[in-house]
Amino acid sequence: METNNEINNEINQVNTMPRIGDQAPDFEAVTTKGKIKFSDFAKDKWVVMFSHPADFTPVCTTEMSGFAIRKPEFDALNTELIGLSIDSIHAHLGWVQNVRENTGVYFDFPIIADIDMKVSKLYGMLQPNESETAAVRAVFFIDPSKKIRLVMYYPLNVGRNMDEILRALEALQTSDKYKVAMPLDWKKGDKVIVGPPKTLDELNERINDDSLEKVDWYLAKKNL
């Protein structure tokens, strides 16, 4: 029989949610591409790690197919995909083959077999008020240093938006490269926001800089 401390530890583990800026928790897991150790996975690449509630389910099939169809766009952004659900490796392989036979879409990225829920609990993908046995639709954007940069959570009954996932990924990479910020609805080719001045000299320089689109001295945009 479990003690109160053991029960509390299990609850805390389930509710663990890595935050933006945290190092991505390390783990070892069996996937459809073989066994991985996450800290060694996709060296020098970004990672988009996403969970789905279950294999052989309709919404999950549309989402996983979406990731597979648009994988070349993630490849172009130096990003590795990795999925997860609380299913066995045999279920994963059967589902991958079933979708390939029925639609021609091949899930050519690793899918973690998290039957013991170890990774789901580590990443806060199990949220008991939604389900105690199925992972919610979580998305973690992880940079090459294995730092978590953005987190999205969707419930079991609402599919994700692939355009937004790719837009957010490109925004993060562009912000890192050029040290700028992204305005509402930014997409590639749009103007970016330059940081506000921090001294009077920088303020005067900003006021006199005609290359910027200035809404006001503290809000200015430019083309990259």
Mean pLDDT of 53-64: 96
Mean pLDDT of 54-83: 97
HSE-CB at 137 with a 13 A cutoff on CA atoms is: 18
What per-residue confidence (pLDDT) applies to 67? 98
What per-residue confidence (pLDDT) applies to 18? 93
Supply the pTM of this predicted model: 0.89
Burial zone of 155 (CB within 10 Å; 0-12 exposed, 13-18 middle, 19+ buried): exposed
Taking phi over 0 as left and psi of -120 to 50 as alpha, with beta for the rest, 97 belongs to alpha
Mean pLDDT of 154-183: 96
pLDDT mean across residues, the chain: 92
- Going by pLDDT thresholds of 50, 70 and 90, the confidence category of residue 98 is very high
Distance CA(111)–CA(117), nearest Å, equals 14
pLDDT, greater one: 132 or 74:
74
- Going by pLDDT thresholds of 50, 70 and 90, the confidence category of residue 133 is confident
Residues 6+ apart with CB under 8 A from 173: 46, 77, 78
Examine the pLDDT at 8 and tell me if it is beyond 80: no
Across the strands, what pairs with 177?
none
Q: Is 22 a catalytic residue?
A: no
What per-residue confidence (pLDDT) applies to 4? 52
Examine the pLDDT at 11 and tell me if it is beyond 50: no
Contact by Cβ (8 Å): 65, 96: no
For the chain, give the percent of residues with pLDDT over 90. 85
What per-residue confidence (pLDDT) applies to 132? 77
Distance CA(149)–CA(20), nearest Å, equals 5
Contact by Cβ (8 Å): 141, 48: yes
pLDDT, greater one: 131 or 59:
59
| Alpha-carbon distance values, 204 to 20, 210, 218, 223 (Å) | 35, 12, 12, 21
- Going by pLDDT thresholds of 50, 70 and 90, the confidence category of residue 7 is very low
Active-site annotation holder among 29, 60, 112, 192: 60
